[in-house]
Amino acid sequence: MAGRAGEELASYAQALQRLGWRGLALVHHRSHAHAARAALEALGAEPGECHAIADSGARAALEGLCSRILSPARYQEILGSEALVALVALGGLVRPNILAATAETVVEGGLLVIAAGPPGEWNPGPPGGLGLYRGYLLESIRRSRSHIIVDLESGTVYSKAVPREPAPPRSPGPRVARGLPARLARLAATADQLSALEAAARLLRGRGRTLLVLGDRGRGKSFLLGLALALAIHERQAGRVHVVAPSPASAASLYRGLKAGLEALGYGGLYRERLESGYTARLWGPWFSVIHRSPESAEPAPLLVVDEAAAVGVARVRRLSWRSGRVMVASTVHGYEGSGRVLVHVLEADLPRPLARVELGEPIRYRRGDPLEEWVLRAFHLDAEPPSVPPEKALGATCRTVPRGRLGPWDAYTSRLLGVLAQAHYRFEPDYILVALESSNHELIALEAPGGEPVAAADVAIEDPSMEEAARLGLKALSTHAPEAAGLRGARIVRIAVSPPLQRMGLGTRILRCAEAHAAKHGALVVTALFSRHDVLGFWVENGYLVAYISPRYNRATGEKNVCVAKPLAPGARGAVEEASSAFRVRLLLSLQSIYRDLAAERVPLILEATAPSHHRPVALTGDMERRLSEFLAGRLDLEQAFDAVWAAAVDCLASRSPSSLGLTQREATALAARILQGKPLNDVAYTLSTTMSEAHATASQAARRLLEACTAPTGAS
């Protein structure tokens, strides 16, 4: 019996190679380690054709059978590599992120294998979860057009589906390129890649500033960036180049393309390279140096290359690109990062102009319409998009809590609901499915138009002091400046979003009110939200929320600093929220020249408006400071001559007064924040205000005088 199941598995794999499709196998045995070894033995794959993500319990069983075995914590290193058999062998939690990332490395005719214990005992979900993920994952596999589920111990074949038709032929090869070295053009695997390489050539030879390369995973974006870099080096357009990517491993495909391009152009003997953990971290030659930088250590450069903007963070990409020379950026639309069109629109709007955008559609590792790619997209809703609903119909929407049992891998409603929620974040990762299915303290709330289409949605998590720290992030942030908040019962808005065509119609406020009502129903005294998209801060302020905390460090995913806002739902929480907010206000004012100096100056006035006033004077002015303030107000001293005194007076004033109450215009408030509170040089202030340095100085000086006249009465002031 066991032999028959093994034969069925081998026969399925052979059919995939014959048809040119990729497939998926769920293989059971007495343990996941035995399942992994038995599957590889049945398939007869060579070690060089296999790589695996395996825990310590399965690693020993795979020795000699797979050339590369990574722990679950290192799964991202597998991206960019290729295998005929990609194996996931985990005895506990099988994260969707790991499945999606591993599936993307499988080549045409290959197989993703999930090794599992006995069918009745296998639970791929998290410990202590609701247990819904197992059924969800099984349903997704059974509905795939190309799959097999077997028990190699009992010999049982539970389910099997083989595509009926062979994979379609690949598109015609790249046409002959004009204006490119023929030897380099031949390295382009598709016509899409060749067109993108031509766009890179135009950027290097003309007045273009930015090249944006888009496409789903498996389209060869990283390799293409490497080819474009080789062209830049060939044309002496690359001196110092910074490649920004999460790790050298994640930039491996880019460096492979670079080295292939240099070899083709005849520079193979001219360059040297430095490795880190087996991956290229720097490659240099007589007139060029291509250095990998992590997002945290990245700096502007004459030529900046960002490999996977979703993983680097849009805000960080924006800051780096505007201070660099030419820029090349790649970003995934649908794939492991799950960034979607949200990031594409934000990214494209933020990058320097002139900008050339190219999109790669032809897969490199597999054929169009591949069933394994379809499974990844459908199972984890990475291609989810919000529904199209007329505005007049959306205005009649009503709220309801979405039952977890309603969520399905191939379900159209689920895809549309998650398509709305994806608008809330730059990245919509597969792992979010675990949150939706397994977290008992999370609830999804939808604002549905007549007919049931979701037009807005929110994910609300109830937080209780008895929960572990990771489950009460909102209360933890609030208690940073108000320790008593740690003992409150609260609710955190994890995600909230409105379908883009229906925004600015009041639907965001309506879904927020529904979320607040849900929180109150479950005994929450306070509602919090943590986010890193500073452009949405105004929404929260308009709905009565106070800023209670901003992280001193960047969010690794977005490149922005996380903001925590809070709103009391009951009198018992009001004091804690106001205490946290007023204490943070003082901290912010005293830290704007240090850890918060990199906040966008135009956001600082809004943040001050959105914090509670403090009753403490954080800075005491000396007699000398007061004298120089008087001289400055009288026009006998320049701003810089009284700078320390003006700063101290501004901090002291703004601890209890908002910029708007002082009669400052938005432009003056921004100049005050940038020049005085943050201490930025005049050229930076001028850049922020889009003006000259002399005009920036005049605006900052005028703002300082307005503030002093409204807030201070120093001794001898006229």
Tell me the three state secondary structure of residue 106: strand
What's the CATH code of the domain at 155?
3.40.50.11040
Does pLDDT of 339 surpass 80? no
Same domain, 36 and 119: yes
Same domain, 210 and 289: yes
DSSP string computed for 519-583: HHHTT-SEEEEEE--GGGHHHHHHTT-EEEEEEEEE-TTTSSEEEEEEEESSHHHHHHHHHHHHH
Same domain, 156 and 72: yes
Please state, in angstroms and as integers, the Cα–Cα distance from residue 470 to each residue in 73, 464, 467, 488, following that order: 18, 11, 8, 16
Tell me the average pLDDT across 244-270: 93
How far apart (Å, rounded) are the C-alpha atoms in residues 220 and 360?
8
Query: pTM to 2 decimals?
Result: 0.86
Same domain, 78 and 139: yes
Same domain, 65 and 130: yes
Sheet strands (E) in 76-209: 83-89, 106-116, 147-151, 156-161
Which of 179-188, 251-260, 425-434, 676-685 shows the lowest mean pLDDT across its residues?
Answer: 425-434
Provide the pLDDT confidence category of residue 713 given band limits of 50, 70 and 90. very low
Does the residue 137 lie in any domain? yes
Same domain, 435 and 555: yes
Tell me the average pLDDT across 610-631: 93
- Contact (CB, 8 A) for 90 and 116: no
Does pLDDT of 337 surpass 70? no
Same domain, 592 and 657: no
Same domain, 15 and 152: yes
Tell me the average pLDDT across 458-466: 96
What's the CATH code of the domain at 504?
3.40.630.30
Quote the pLDDT of residue 81: 83
Domain, as residue range, for 150 = 2-161
Tell me the average pLDDT across 227-245: 95
Quote the pLDDT of residue 80: 73
Quote the pLDDT of residue 428: 75
Does pLDDT of 338 surpass 50? no
Same domain, 466 and 559: yes
Same domain, 589 and 668: no
Going by DSSP bridges, is the β-strand pair 355-360/398-402 parallel, antiparallel, or unpaired? unpaired
Does the residue 256 lie in any domain? yes
Last residue in a domain, options 352, 376, 409:
352
Last residue in a domain, options 294, 322, 352:
352
Provide the pLDDT confidence category of residue 539 given band limits of 50, 70 and 90. very high
Q: Residue 381 is encoded by which pair of tokens?
A: 């809703």
Provide the pLDDT confidence category of residue 635 given band limits of 50, 70 and 90. very high
User: What percentage of the chain has pLDDT greater than the value 70?
Assistant: 96
Does the residue 618 lie in any domain? no
Please state, in angstroms and as integers, the Cα–Cα distance from residue 640 to each residue in 363, 598, 626, 673, following that order: 59, 21, 15, 15
Quote the pLDDT of residue 594: 95
Does the residue 240 lie in any domain? yes
Provide the pLDDT confidence category of residue 343 given band limits of 50, 70 and 90. low
Quote the pLDDT of residue 482: 94
Tell me the average pLDDT across 136-143: 97
Same domain, 186 and 334: yes
Does the residue 717 lie in any domain? no
| Half-sphere CA count of 143, side-chain side, radius 13 A | 16
Same domain, 512 and 636: no
Number of domains composing the chain? 4
Tell me the three state secondary structure of residue 683: helix
Quote the pLDDT of residue 105: 92
Does the residue 259 lie in any domain? yes
How far apart (Å, rounded) are the C-alpha atoms in residues 620 and 629?
14
Q: Which residues contact 507 (CB under 8 A, 6 or more apart)?
A: 394, 397, 447, 455, 456, 498
Does pLDDT of 275 surpass 70? yes
Provide the pLDDT confidence category of residue 558 given band limits of 50, 70 and 90. low
Does the residue 173 lie in any domain? no
Tell me the average pLDDT across 574-589: 97
Does the residue 616 lie in any domain? no
Quote the pLDDT of residue 714: 44
**pLDDT tens readout for residues 39-87:** 999 999 899 999 999 999 999 999 999 999 999 999 988 877 889 999 9
Q: The dihedral of CA 47, 48, 52, 57: what is its sign? A: positive
Last residue in a domain, options 581, 609, 637:
609
